[in-house]
Amino acid sequence: MPSESLTWQLCPVVRASFHAVLHSGIDAVSLAAAMQEFSQTVEGLRQAHQLLTASLFRYQAHLFLYLESVGTALAPDGLSPLLDALLCPWPAAVSEALPRRWVAMQPYFYHDIPTTAGDWLRERHTENGLWRTIVDDETSYEEVSASAGIAAAMIAKGNPLHIKYINKSIPCMLANVSPDGRVLNVSGGTAVMKDADGYRSISRDWIQG
């Protein structure tokens, strides 16, 4: 059985997206203070393992918020009273008396996503103990430097649930170190490519060093 400190990693991930609209004429100082308060609240929830991800985007007067909470749904109202005060009210929802500041968006874009907080990378660990250059694409080649980075992050995290993946990765990475110390099967310098084929076609030939 996992220890009590690890049970949060076995909880389901609850995803939700929200939309809000800023009042007109908000000064930069007030908005900056609200964003700072929001960031501090999010970090506190993350440290308490109640939240995995919070992404807040602004386009003109529109705010779009994406939340991944642990175990139970997390509503954005009240995360930042300063920010809530800057938002236009929406009509009250059915059976509710008070107007809303945030409205939920339909999650039509979710697909092929993990169901718990710790399973995404583990599920994409190949039989050879590595991860692919496009992690969730089985036609992409296994990439040693990215695999080393993922395994190092697992080691740094110190999660006992990752031990078997770490132990499987290390021999595979060592097998890609040549007798003269070169690390093999590392993709060349990678820019932002226009499509998946661009990443798949990056050479792993040793051309420098």
3-7, 144-148, 182-186: least confident range: 3-7
Total of domains in the chain? 2
The pLDDT of residue 123 is: 62
Are both 129 and 100 inside the same structural domain? no
Do 25 and 97 reside in the same domain of the chain?
yes
Residue 209 lies in a domain: no
* Residue 125, in any domain of the structure: yes
Do 96 and 124 have their domain in common? Answer: no
Q: Check residue 195 and give its pLDDT.
A: 76
- Token pair 């050479």 is at which residue? 203
**With contact defined as beta carbons under 8 Å apart, do 130 and 173 qualify?**
yes
**18-41 pLDDT per residue, tens:** 888 888 888 889 989 999 999 898
Same domain, 128 and 93: no
* Residue percentage of the chain with pLDDT more than 70: 76
The answer to the question of residue 31 being in a domain is yes
Give the tens place of pLDDT for each residue, 106-149: 654 444 444 554 555 666 777 777 878 777 777 888 888 888 88
Q: Which of 13-22, 78-87, 117-126 has the lowest mean pLDDT?
A: 117-126
Task: Tell which wins on pLDDT, 16 or 29.
Answer: 29
Query: Is residue 9 domain-shared with residue 101, that is, in the same domain?
Result: yes
Last residue of a domain, one of 72, 105, 138: 105
| Residue 71, pLDDT score | 77
Average pLDDT over residues 169-180: 85
Let me know if residue 48 belongs to a domain: yes
Full residue range of the structural domain in which residue 53 is found: 4-105
What is the rounded CA–CA span in Å between residue 70 and residue 131? 26
Between helix 144-157 and helix 163-174 the angle, nearest 10°, is 150
Average pLDDT over all residues of the chain: 77
Q: Is residue 112 part of a domain?
A: no
Please say if the pLDDT value at position 1 is more than 50.
no
How much is the pTM?
A: 0.48
Give the domain-ending residue among 105, 129, 157: 105
CATH code of the domain containing 9: 3.30.70
Q: Examine residue 30 and state whether it is found in any structural domain, yes or no.
A: yes
Percentage above 90 pLDDT, the chain: 4
| Chain segment 94-111, per-residue pLDDT in tens | 666 677 788 887 654 444
pLDDT for the residue numbered 162: 74
Residue 158 lies in a domain: yes
Alpha carbon separation from 40 to 36, 43, 54, 151 (Å, rounded): 6, 5, 12, 29
Separation between Cα atoms, residue 101 and residue 83, nearest integer Å:
10
In a domain, 207, yes or no: no
Domain boundary among 71, 105, 139: 105
> Could you tell me the pLDDT band of residue 199, with boundaries at 50, 70 and 90?
confident
